């Protein structure tokens, strides 16, 4: 089944890496097809950026997103740029400390704060990937952990796996509450 995932934030949050990890988890470790496209403004650090991943069980005939089934917003600017025209059935997940204006029904996680508690604010993107994985179950936990382990610098693997686990548990709790 085709799933369209858009991750949005600002340059420096690791949005493109997060998209790469999602695509890698799907294609290499979950046996699915995946295509990644990315977009970022000329500002690079601090400017809006997005990673879009199409995941499907069969070959993908159109690589662009038409209607995201999952939308991850990690900054207010991303909310304003990517979070305006959303299908009612879409899963919208937001970084609660950085997205100020959003409907109450959108699930929130303080990914940056949780990453800081782990000792590395830079792993907020991985916390959010854990939340997305636990809340949506589009990809398996094992595939995501393997993709993280083989995509981040070796010295940060343990930290990033802990960050993923924290996010994943929050995502599972969210999905159990809303089920």
User: Is the distance from CB of 134 to CB of 171 less than 8 angstroms?
Assistant: yes
Mind listing the pLDDT tens digit for each residue in 103-150? 888 899 999 999 999 999 999 999 999 999 999 999 999 999 999 999
Residue 178 scores a pLDDT above 80: no
| List of residues 6+ apart from 78 with CB closer than 8 A | 8, 9, 10, 48, 50, 99
Residue 24 scores a pLDDT above 80: yes
Mind listing the pLDDT tens digit for each residue in 5-21? 999 998 889 999 999 99
Residue 17: per-residue pLDDT? 96
Comparing 151 with 88, which gets the higher pLDDT? 151
Residue 101: per-residue pLDDT? 85
Q: How far is residue 20's CA from residue 88's CA, in Å, rounded to a whole number? A: 26
Average pLDDT, the chain: 92
Residue 171: per-residue pLDDT? 94
Mean pLDDT for the stretch of residues 167-173:
95
Comparing 82 with 161, which gets the higher pLDDT? 161
Residue 44: per-residue pLDDT? 55
Mind listing the pLDDT tens digit for each residue in 25-55? 999 999 999 999 998 766 556 677 899 999 9
Residue 9: per-residue pLDDT? 93
In order of their start, the domains of the chain are 3-178 (3.40.920.10)
Mind listing the pLDDT tens digit for each residue in 61-103? 999 999 999 999 999 989 988 887 788 889 999 999 999 888 8
**Of the candidates 38, 45, 35, 43, which has an alpha carbon nearest to the alpha carbon of residue 8?**
38
How wide is the angle at C-alpha 76 spanned by C-alphas 73 and 82, nearest 5°?
50
């Amino acid at each position: 089944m085709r799933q369209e995932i858009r991750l949005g934030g600002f340059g420096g949050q690791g949005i493109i890496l997060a998209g790469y990890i999602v695509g890698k988890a799907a294609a290499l470790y979950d046996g699915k097809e995946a295509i990644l496209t990315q977009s970022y403004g000329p500002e690079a650090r601090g400017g809006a950026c997005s990673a879009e991943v199409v995941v499907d069980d069969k070959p993908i005939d159109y690589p662009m997103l038409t209607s995201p089934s999952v939308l991850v917003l990690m900054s207010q600017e991303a909310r304003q740029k990517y979070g305006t025209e959303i299908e009612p059935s879409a899963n919208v997940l937001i970084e609660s400390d950085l997205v100020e204006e959003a409907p109450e029904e959108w699930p929130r996680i303080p990914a940056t704060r949780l990453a800081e508690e782990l000792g590395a604010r830079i792993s907020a993107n991985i916390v959010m990937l854990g939340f997305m994985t636990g809340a949506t179950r589009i990809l398996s936990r094992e595939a995501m952990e393997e993709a993280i382990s083989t995509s981040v610098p070796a010295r940060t693997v343990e930290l990033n796996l802990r960050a993923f686990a924290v996010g994943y548990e929050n995502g599972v709790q969210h999905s159990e509450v809303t089920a």
